[in-house]
Structure 1
Amino acid sequence: MTAFDLTGRRALVTGGAQGLGEGMAQALAAAGASVVVGDLQDDAAAAVAASLGVGHTSVHLDVTDEESWSAAVDAATSALGGLDVVVNNAGIEISNLITEVTADEIRRQLDVNVLGTALGVKHALLAMRPGGSAGNGGTIINVASVAATIAFPGISIYSATKSAIDRLTRVAAMESGKLGYGVRVNCIYPGLVPTAMGAGLADDMARLGLFGSAEEAVEAVVSLTPSGRLGEVRDMADAVVFLASDASRFVNGIGLPVDGGMGM
């Protein structure tokens, strides 16, 4: 057994039906955790859970809805016999220039990225704190972005929401510690990963006239990254396993860059 072994841990991953969330669910399961895949896409979430093997399941979850959160956490805790890890991964990105962004685009990103994560932190703490439905402490991992640490054009609102997640993470960690909840709260800052969302972002940069093509936008990101490449899903997933494991037992209230140095 190593410090990264998650055998016996119970985890809920939001936005787990695709992209980074799917990769995080796979990595947690591979490390030994039992995983509940939470997502609006019921069929896709169920397929991911089935691909993980026996002992894993899925749950319908609209992260913007408090009742949905309460039901999902109850279902996950019941299905797994407890809850030790919550990964708040669900998020959206809508590219636009500041002068063109609409109120609906702003609200949508605030609802999913900020409200959704805040509700996730709330209900994870309620479940994992002493006297909660799980009650044995645990860890919360929020997914921010390198966009919280750099000024990249076309993603002003997305960047603002991810900066909010960083602040939320740190305050939640302090509250948890002060109140003796026994729950660590951290976040990661993923760099650009060529998932559907990442590819869409590159296309948007060209559409908005900020770069000559999607390829040029990607080249700009790589040129800003000391590691000289885009991120991979496994890079982000491995960081989540680290923060969920005993290897990070004294890591609390931090934002961990997983961006190849882009945001330094």
Structure 2
Amino acid sequence: MGRMDGRAAVVTGGARGIGAAVARVFAAEGARVTVADVLDAEGQEVAAELGAPARFRHLDVTEPDDWAALLADAEEAGGPVSVLVNNAGVLAFGTIEEQAPEDFRRVLDVNLYGAWLGLHTLAPALRRSGDGVVVNISSTAGLMGYANIGAYVASKWGLRGLTKSAALELAAGGVRVCSVHPGPITTPMTAAMDDSIAAGQPMARFGTPEEVARMVLFLVTEATYSTGSEFVVDGGATTGSMIVAEE
């Protein structure tokens, strides 16, 4: 018997990276998973790999009509959605002075507005399920500042705050809302980043999407007295000090 038998879950950004890993873990535990993404070919591959009852649905998280269609489809497939993982995200580099306004807006639209729109659309279904859980994938950039990715930092701090507001609003309806804050994780988004980023961490390596997925599974299935809280998966990067190698 799987820990998510009978539950319907939606994972945004589910075509690759952390989202695909979460979808795989959920499916392995018996969930009906909707893999949602704008990357149609890659998302269809993930859904096909998982088999029935997993399915892929095209979703631009910034489009209300896409969310409404996804919800209708997911509920028609079998009961209210009880798990939402807001994982879709984009990254844009540039200093505050150099970055184009449209690039800043795009990052906030996908990373923050998209998550809000998912909560806005799915909240009634999450309440109807009787055991709704929302996991917002933030970042260590939602706990501290980083240079040259100001839009990403702003979006992830915003997502952390949205998590707390949603937790307060939805608790009476039996819905828990938490945020996960990964450090450097090996994904397509971080493919261009140098391994030295993790060199000074207590655990001097990039994490894997599967390590984040296991934290998400824990929050959905085990952390039944946690809401509005942050859970960090970062190899110790935010502990407050960096290890200096001896010469």
Task: Calculate the aligned-residue CA RMSD, in Å.
Answer: 1.4
Q: Which residue of 2 aligns with 1:108?
A: 106
Equivalent position SS for 2:6:
coil
Q: Aligned ranges for residues 52-71 of structure 1 at < 5 Å?
A: 52-71=50-69
C-alpha contact (below 8 Å) 1:144/1:165 kept by paired residues: yes
C-alpha contact (below 8 Å) 2:186/2:208 kept by paired residues: yes
Q: Which residue of 1 aligns with 2:140?
A: 146
In 2: Cα distance, 1:259 partner to 1:238 partner: 13
Is 1:221 aligned with 2:221? Answer: no
Post-superposition shift, 1:81? 2.6
> Runs of 5+ in structure 2 lacking a partner?
240-247
Equivalent position SS for 1:13:
strand
Q: Which residue of 1 aligns with 2:168?
A: 174
Equivalent position SS for 1:250:
coil
Post-superposition shift, 1:107? 0.7
TM-score, with structure 1 as normaliser: 0.86
| Equivalent AA in structure 1 for residue 144 of structure 2 | I
Equivalent position SS for 1:169:
helix
C-alpha contact (below 8 Å) 2:9/2:82 kept by paired residues: yes
Task: List structure 1 runs of 4+ shifted beyond 4 angstroms.
Answer: none
Post-superposition shift, 1:227? 1.7
Structure-2 change in CA distance of 1:222 and 1:80 (3 Å): farther
Q: Which residue of 2 aligns with 1:230?
A: 206
TM-score, with structure 2 as normaliser: 0.92
Post-superposition shift, 1:34? 1.5
Q: Which residue of 2 aligns with 1:241?
A: 217
In 2: Cα distance, 1:76 partner to 1:58 partner: 10
Post-superposition shift, 1:234? 0.7
- Which of 140, 157, 160 matches 1:163? 157
Equivalent position SS for 1:189:
strand
**Identity rate of aligned residues, in percent?**
37
Is 1:251 aligned with 2:222? Answer: no
| Equivalent AA in structure 2 for residue 220 of structure 1 | I
Q: Which residue of 1 aligns with 2:186?
A: 194
CA offset digits 1:109-139 (Å, max 9, x no partner) = 0110111010111122122224xxxx43410
In 2: Cα distance, 1:194 partner to 1:40 partner: 20
